[in-house]
Amino acid sequence: MIKNTFLYCFLLSCLLVACTSQKPTNESTEETISLLQKKSSETLSDSTLIYLRDVARLIKSTPSLPDSLKSENDFLIGDYYSKKGQIDSAAVYHYKAIESIKDSIQSDREYQYFFNAWSTHQQLQEYGECIAITRRFESLIKESDNTNLLRVYYQYIETYKASKKYQEAIKYIDLSIETYKELKNTKRVIITTITKTELQFLYLNKEEAYSTLEKLLLLKEELDFDLKRQLYTQYGYYLHLDQRYKEARDYYHKGLSAINHLEKTPFLTTEYTQLYSNLGEVYLDLKVYDSAKFYLDKASQEDKLSNSNDKTRQLLSYKLRYAYETKSNYKETQNHLDTIAKYQEMRYEERYSKGLKSLESSYKEKEAIRIEKQQVELEKAKTQIQLLIVFIISSLLITLGIYFYKKRQRTFDKMSLQMQQRLLRSQMNPHFTFNTLYAIQNTIKKDPQGAVNYLLKFSRLLRLILENSTNNYVLLEKELESLRKYMDLQLLRFPEKYTYTITLQDLEEDEFIFIPPMLIQPYIENSIEHAFKGINYKGKIHITLSLKKEFIKCIIEDNGIGIQSKVNSHKESVSTTLIANFIEKATKQKINDINKKDRDPSTSGMITSFLIPYKQTEHD
């Protein structure tokens, strides 16, 4: 650190002398600036930004210097902010880096300027800016420059996919395929075609996807093992989604056979994890539990080698499903639940922090620079204190956990009920978190006060969920508050999409009554996400809670499209099964679903009713 600081100071001193001497030479100034920029890009110290800003001032005071020096400096500042996680600031400087490029793309470095500018705006979900940057990049490349042309198509494809304009994405995928054909790159033609089928299957026309893949399967004898792996695995995935489990299993095995012929790399380790995980899931669907356990265990081994966070939660959910369906011992099932809970908590904290930083970075940038040096020493001290606190808390929690586990040993049935409750409380969708933060961000310019109000509601909802997750029973008042805040925040995403009412019969909201948390919310989410999808009228949700002798009866009614349009995804079916099992075991009554159209063809919607156990104390 001291050595780097001395070097920066020395170079700056030389540059100042060169600029203030009677006969400064642009050549020496350029060399010094280039050397300083190179050193800045090699490290991410707390002084990097200070030095780069000093260089920016020197470049500004020397107008005769080439624009490439300024572009590189802006790019390095943007790169610094990007590595620090301050995406708003990174986007500003990456955009500045491309402003001075006016004639044509001369090097891969200039392409990197455009790619990073596009990438940071993509992370901010500013898709209009992404399209504008890509069009400018396209205007600067030569007609014969197929390499950069394919890069242009890639940026268009990813932008249109992210903004859900799938037909536009398909258009540029087709252009990529034609370009690869001109280059006689058969492998990339096939890989890009497989990518096209994914959009067709998931969003447009699945029959076209099947037709395209079946044509490629006719060429299987001409394909190498890597292409066979991709083709078989993708085809098996589509069959799996269509619940054609035996066919999906066979194609997954063909994909596994192909990948076994390839030399193992870190990338293929991740592919092994996904393929074993897919096989584990399809064997669960086929109820072949020995094979399911075999492949899930192999997926876990590969996952440890690849260290892929994207696959971990999915794999854990499959292992939990296996433990639940095979009625494995309590300890194994509880370990899976605890692992999922810890993993989700870590991911929520990371994403929630990033979301808040994105909202706050626009007005905190100046103050952050001022206190940057002070934070270095504070962070060192804070880290040591945090490690000590974590150690103490961990030791205390372990001790308390062992004590309460021995003291509160229960029968297996009651343990199973509590585990199901804990699973249900872990189901808050991360997409809801991001969609809400994005909606709040879009509201800031139009209605700052409204955005603040929604941010407070969102903060309160997260706090309520974290509080509720530590209890098997929570106050009725808190659960209703959580429901209202959830529905209000959904209204921020879908204004005027629906209205809701909550009616209480024979009980008051502030009564000292405790119920299990997160039983009602999944059904409300189904109404909002699925029942109101594609309707041309205003949706209505009516929740009625009435006090019976031993239970609270809950009736959820909506005026959506009815039961025939529900999406039966794997995750939803597992969640529904767990809720149904918990309600049936706790109340001896099943959940009752009524399709309103079956009773009266002139109406539409669903009525879901079930009993909820309650207590006069939060303790079991």
**Average pLDDT of the residues in 224-236:** 90
Q: Does some domain include residue 479?
A: yes
What is the structure's pLDDT at 347? 56
Q: Does some domain include residue 570?
A: yes
Is the pLDDT score of 417 beyond 50? yes
Mean pLDDT of the chain: 78
The count of domains in the chain is 1
**Average pLDDT of the residues in 387-409:** 79
201-205 contacts: CB < 8 A, separation 24 or more?
Answer: 201/238, 201/241, 203/164, 203/166, 204/166, 204/167, 204/170
pLDDT in tens, 286-322: 999 889 889 888 888 877 765 555 567 777 778 878 8
Tokens 């989604």 belong to: 241
- The residues, any chain, with a CB within 8 Å of residue 505's CB and separated by 6 or more, are 544, 545, 546, 547
Output the CA–CA distances (angstroms, integers) from residue 13 to 18, 19, 32, 55, 260, in the order listed: 9, 10, 10, 12, 59
Q: Does some domain include residue 234?
A: no
Looking at per-residue pLDDT, the higher value among 238 and 618 belongs to 238
What is the structure's pLDDT at 59? 74
- C-alpha 233/C-alpha 617 separation (Å) is 52
Q: Are the C-beta atoms of residues 276 and 295 closer than 8 Å to each other?
A: yes
Each residue of 299-332: b (16+ CB within 10 Å) or e?
bbebbeebebeebbebbbbbbbbbbbeeebeeee
**Average pLDDT of the residues in 181-196:** 90
DSSP string, 94-156: HHHHHHT--S---SHHHHHHHHHHHHHHHHTT-HHHHHHHHHHHHHTS-TT-HHHHHHHHHHH
Amino acid at 389: I
pLDDT in tens, 84-100: 888 888 888 888 888 88
In degrees rounded to 5, what are phi and psi of residue 23? -130, 70
Each residue of 41-57: b (16+ CB within 10 Å) or e?
eeeebebbbbbbeebbe
What's the CATH number where 492 sits?
A: 3.30.565.10
Residue 612: band (very low, low, confident or very high) from pLDDT cuts 50, 70, 90:
very high
Q: What domain range includes position 548?
A: 470-613
Is the pLDDT score of 247 beyond 60? yes
What is the structure's pLDDT at 568? 42
pLDDT in tens, 360-371: 554 455 555 556
Residue 578, token pair as written in the block: 């767990």
- C-alpha 346/C-alpha 350 separation (Å) is 6
**Sheet of strand 606-613, all strands in order from the earlier edge strand to the far edge:** 498-505, 539-547, 551-558, 606-613, 592-595
- C-alpha 121/C-alpha 94 separation (Å) is 10
Q: Does some domain include residue 109?
A: no
Q: What is the CA radius of gyration of the chain?
A: 29
Residue 331: band (very low, low, confident or very high) from pLDDT cuts 50, 70, 90:
low
The whole-model pTM stands at 0.50
Q: What is the number of H-type helices and E-type strands within the chain?
A: 25, 7
- C-alpha 419/C-alpha 417 separation (Å) is 5
Q: Does some domain include residue 551?
A: yes
Is the pLDDT score of 5 beyond 70? no
pLDDT in tens, 122-170: 999 999 999 999 999 988 888 888 888 999 999 999 999 999 999 999 9
Q: Are the C-beta atoms of residues 358 and 441 closer than 8 Å to each other?
A: yes
- C-alpha 272/C-alpha 489 separation (Å) is 39
Q: Are the C-beta atoms of residues 107 and 123 closer than 8 Å to each other?
A: no
Q: Does some domain include residue 587?
A: yes
Q: Does some domain include residue 489?
A: yes
Residue 527: band (very low, low, confident or very high) from pLDDT cuts 50, 70, 90:
confident
- The residues, any chain, with a CB within 8 Å of residue 161's CB and separated by 6 or more, are 169, 199
In degrees rounded to 5, what are phi and psi of residue 245? -65, -40
Is the pLDDT score of 31 beyond 60? no
The 3-class secondary structure across 307-343, one letter per residue, is CCHHHHHHHHHHHHHHHHHCCCCHHHHHHHHHHHHHH
Looking at per-residue pLDDT, the higher value among 9 and 317 belongs to 317
Alpha helical stretches, state H, 498-569: 521-526
DSSP classification of residue 495: T
Residue 616: band (very low, low, confident or very high) from pLDDT cuts 50, 70, 90:
confident
In degrees rounded to 5, what are phi and psi of residue 475? -60, 140
In degrees rounded to 5, what are phi and psi of residue 326? -90, 0
What is the structure's pLDDT at 12? 44
What is the structure's pLDDT at 309? 55
pLDDT in tens, 461-510: 777 777 776 677 888 998 898 899 889 888 877 888 899 999 999 899 88
Alpha helical stretches, state H, 245-371: 245-259, 266-285, 289-306, 309-325, 330-370
Q: Are the C-beta atoms of residues 199 and 212 closer than 8 Å to each other?
A: no
What is the structure's pLDDT at 480? 92
Q: Does some domain include residue 528?
A: yes
pLDDT in tens, 533-562: 888 899 999 999 999 888 999 999 999 988
- C-alpha 159/C-alpha 166 separation (Å) is 10
What is the structure's pLDDT at 1? 45
Q: Are strands 551-558 and 474-475 parallel, antiparallel or unpaired?
A: unpaired
Residue 24: band (very low, low, confident or very high) from pLDDT cuts 50, 70, 90:
very low
**Average pLDDT of the residues in 34-43:** 52
Q: Which of 49-53, 248-252, 455-459, 565-569 has the highest mean pLDDT?
A: 248-252
What is the structure's pLDDT at 176? 92
Looking at per-residue pLDDT, the higher value among 24 and 323 belongs to 323
In degrees rounded to 5, what are phi and psi of residue 520? -85, -35
What is the structure's pLDDT at 415? 55
- The residues, any chain, with a CB within 8 Å of residue 467's CB and separated by 6 or more, are 474, 478
Q: Are the C-beta atoms of residues 169 and 199 closer than 8 Å to each other?
A: yes
- C-alpha 345/C-alpha 280 separation (Å) is 25
pLDDT in tens, 561-606: 887 644 444 345 455 667 778 888 888 899 999 999 888 888 899 9
